[in-house]
Amino acid sequence: HVAVAVEAGSVTVDGVPAQTSGATGKTSALLTKGLGTTVQPDGTVASARPVDLSTALAWRDGKLIFQNATLADVVREVTLYRSSPV
């Protein structure tokens, strides 16, 4: 899936139209500052929700922040930023 968070301004997030992907859920969301959403592989777009921008943008300071993640998910993500696997 793809996660989107808005720091400033506004963004319309559009997923793949349901008729071409087989999705039955919502296919777009309007986001403004401090809101986020996710787009699933089938094109379904989750409703806009508040996000913690300091957590979402921590990568700018070279940090990865995980909450309620499995160790396997953390290892998979950290491995993306290393030259050798964790």
Q: Each residue of 18-44: pLDDT tens digit?
A: 565 555 677 899 999 999 999 998 899
For 43, residues 6+ apart whose C-beta sits below 8 A from its C-beta are: 15, 16, 17, 18, 20, 21, 23, 27
Domain locations along the chain: 1-51, 52-86
Residues 47-66 have a mean pLDDT of 94
**pTM for this structure?**
0.74
Query: Rounded distance, CA 47 to CA 39, Å?
Result: 10
Query: Rounded distance, CA 15 to CA 47, Å?
Result: 12
Instruction: Return the pLDDT at 16.
Output: 76
